[in-house]
């Protein structure tokens, strides 16, 4: 199971939000590039980066930071947040050197873009499915839809997506454990590679995510508060069985 340290960027700083609410932010650093290097030095094999300004507004003031971040580390980065055009996908993947991008709002609202991106870049395009009470949410989690997360996952698979970041919004940043039941449903009912996100608080949460067959797990607040130390998390991810 791949362990993804999370770097959420808002206003050029590293922040964590509670349940995705822009007004409930905690700043954990003023330099996302420095944070990326820190996680790489501690052994991270991937980074999960979210451009929160892009997610909320659809356009980003953080482009220079994203480019610097991608070029400052040697490990692959998956990036999400406000990626809603082919031009931006191309820039991130071909110019900045991001390994793969996450389409969230675009995956729901712009199937044509998703299909075009998958046709061109294959598995470098992954989907972000953010759910509230089993229903998908978009635009930085601000807008709810009537589409079930599982239904959306199946649709993504039909289009050619093989990996999804699945986030339970109610759990995100709350330090009360992930929604293992719905994550397991996503794994079993879609056949996708599911990266578990939201609420991972302790090493037991990681062990349980691995037991239900998660392809990866994203750790955010627990790393920044010291509740989980990255080397210990990586050990769990690498364990066989």
Q: List the domain boundaries for the chain.
A: 2-238
Q: Using one digit for the tens of pLDDT, what is the confidence trace for 5-16?
A: 999 999 999 887
Query: Taking CA 233 as the corner, what is the angle to CA 180 and CA 157, rounded to the nearest 5 degrees?
Result: 45
* Residue 121 clears pLDDT 90, i.e. is over it: yes
Confidence band, pLDDT 50/70/90 cuts, at residue 171: low
Judge whether residue 115 has pLDDT over 70: yes
Among 61, 67, 85, residue whose Cα is nearest residue 10:
61
Helix, strand, coil: what percent of the chain each, to 5?
45, 30, 30
Catalytic residue among 31, 51, 68, 130: 130
Are 121 and 93 within 8 A, CB to CB?
A: yes
Tens-place pLDDT, residues 177-217: 888 999 999 999 999 999 999 889 999 999 999 999 999 99
Per-residue DSSP letter, 162: -
Give yes or no: 87 in active site.
Answer: no
Select which of 8, 51, 168, 205 is catalytic: 8
What's the CATH architecture for 2-238? Alpha-Beta Barrel (3.20)
Does 81 have pLDDT greater than 60? yes
Which tens digits make up the pLDDT trace of 139-156?
Answer: 554 557 678 899 999 999
Residue 8 designated active-site: yes
């Amino acid at each position: 199971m791949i362990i993804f340290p999370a770097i959420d960027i808002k206003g050029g700083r590293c922040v964590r939000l509670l349940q995705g609410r822009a007004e409930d932010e905690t700043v954990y650093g003023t330099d996302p590039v420095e944070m990326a290097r820190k996680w790489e030095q501690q052994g991270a094999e991937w980074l999960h980066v979210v451009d929160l300004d892009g997610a909320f507004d659809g356009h980003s003031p953080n482009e220079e930071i994203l480019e610097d971040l991608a070029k400052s580390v040697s490990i692959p980065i998956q990036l999400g947040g406000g990626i809603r055009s082919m031009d931006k996908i191309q820039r991130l993947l071909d110019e900045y050197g991001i390994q793969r991008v996450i389409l969230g709002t675009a995956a729901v609202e712009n199937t044509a873009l998703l299909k075009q991106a998958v046709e061109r870049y294959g598995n470098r395009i992954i989907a972000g499915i953010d759910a509230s009470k089993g229903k998908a949410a978009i635009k930085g989690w601000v807008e709810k839809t009537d589409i079930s997360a599982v239904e959306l996952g199946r649709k993504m698979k039909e289009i050619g997506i093989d990996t999804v970041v699945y986030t339970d919004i109610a759990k995100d940043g709350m330090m009360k454990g992930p929604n293992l039941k719905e994550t397991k449903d996503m794994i079993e009912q879609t056949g996708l590679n599911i990266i578990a996100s939201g609420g991972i608080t302790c090493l037991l949460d990681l062990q349980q995510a691995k037991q239900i067959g998660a392809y990866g797990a994203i750790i955010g607040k627990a790393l920044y508060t010291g509740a989980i130390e990255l080397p210990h998390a990586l050990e769990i991810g690498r364990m066989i069985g």
